[in-house]
A and B are shown apart, each in its own frame.
Chain A
Amino acid sequence: MTQTDFVKLVMPFKDKVFRLAKRLLVSNEEAEDATQEILMKLWRNKQKISNYKNVEAFSMTMTKNFCLDRLKSKQAQNLKIVHSNYQDNNTSLQKEVENRDSVDWVSKIIEELPEQQKIILQLRDIEEYDFDEIAKVVDMNPTAIRVALSRARKTIREKLTNTHSYGVK
């Protein structure tokens, strides 16, 4: 497998890997490092790639495991929480500021979720995977995934409503 073949194979899901890493590790830099690490691992084992049925799902599983390992390791205790890159060009300034604030809130709320729910929510609501694919990545049965997803969604909304009505009611 040449470098161009590899890049072609990896291109479609490298952003998904990055976003999942960022969801779990929070920091932008950490997520970039993790993504690079995952891609390098894939590149090193490029001979075996053809044996994998679903490279994307495999990579996502790798990312999940890698990030959870990172979180458990001691290095991760120096992790900083950095939010800098949310943008939306269509709305007026006031709404934009408002949106930014609320969107920030959402990511803060998601941060507080258990890892399992974070991963599932990320794969389902952002990457739009179907339940079978998620099942492969997180190694759970679809029903359990649905339950976790439902819990995650409800928690987010509950907390969002609380923060929104804070000071108003």
Chain B
Amino acid sequence: MVLNSIEKLLEKYDNGETSLKEEQQLKAYFAQDNVAPHLESYRIMFQHFKTTKQELYTKDVPLKPKKNFVYQWISVAAVAVLMLGIFIPKIGEENRITSLDDLSPEERKVYFQTKEALAMLSSNFDKGTSGLSMLSDNFSQGTSSFNALSLASESFNVGAEKVSHVNMLGNTTNKYLKNTKENK
């Protein structure tokens, strides 16, 4: 009975029409020891499939995370900038002029002309300053007299206050005179 159904399955199997489930059945049948002798070739085949399936891949795969190369290049750029910062000022210093001897005669002439002109300007400027200081003296004098004036105005105010007192006195006398008139 079992053999019959297996043979039918095998026929289907040979034609590539078995489902995965039916193939499982066949595999289970051929996995056991008592297989019909005329099906020996099938048994070898299934045995082969079974052993092959047990082969495993055991080697390790080196998985390295991807490095971000942008950051590396940023550091390189930073170092380059730093080096430039250190060396470029020194390059400038090499041909800097430090004394008059370094100048050509023409340049020296120009230099002295400029110096003369600047000296003239400075002397004129001194004159101007002295005049300005005189002006400032006058101005301070003016301010002091103005102070005196304000003092005078203050005393004037005091006087005006006194005058108002006299005024008030006058008013009261007037009222009094009126009253006496009405009484008459």
A interface with B by C-beta (< 8 Å): 3, 6-7, 14-15, 17-19, 22-23, 32, 35-36, 39-40, 43-44, 85-88, 99, 102-103, 105-107, 125-128, 130, 145-150, 153-154, 156-157, 160-161, 164
Contact = CB atoms under 8 A, between A and B. Distances in A.
Nearest to A85: B55
A106 B49 CA distance: 9
A22 B54 CA distance: 13
Given A18-B56, A19-B55, A32-B57, A102 B16 contact: no
13 contacts: A22-B55, A35-B57, A40-B61, A85-B55, A86-B51, A88-B51, A99-B47, A103-B44, A103-B51, A107-B48, A127-B53, A153-B14, A154-B14
A106 B45 contact: yes
Contacts, number: 90
Contacts of A17: 57
Contact of A157 (B41, B54, B59): B41
A157 B39 CA distance: 10
Contact of B52 (A14, A102, A126): A126
Contacts of A14: 57
A105 B40 CA distance: 13
A160 B44 contact: yes
Interface of B: 13-17, 20, 23, 40-42, 44-45, 47-49, 51-57, 59, 61, 63, 65-66
Nearest to B26: A125
B59 A156 contact: no
A43 B44 contact: no
B65 A3 contact: yes
Contact of B55 (A15, A103, A106, A145): A15
B14 A15 contact: no
Nearest to A104: B48
Given A88-B51, A126-B52, A160-B41, 18 more contacts: A14-B57, A32-B57, A36-B59, A43-B61, A102-B47, A102-B48, A106-B45, A126-B49, A145-B16, A146-B17, A150-B14, A150-B15, A154-B14, A157-B41, A157-B42, A157-B45, A160-B45, A161-B41
B45 A18 contact: no
Closest 4 CB pairs of A and B: A18-B57, A150-B16, A106-B48, A146-B16
A36 B57 CA distance: 10
Contacts of B40: 164
A50 B52 CA distance: 31
B48 A103 contact: yes
A87 B48 CA distance: 10
Contacts of B13: 153
B60 to A, nearest CB: 9
A9 to B, nearest CB: 12
Contacts of B48: 102-103, 106-107
B16 A149 contact: yes
A44 B62 CA distance: 12
B59 A32 contact: yes
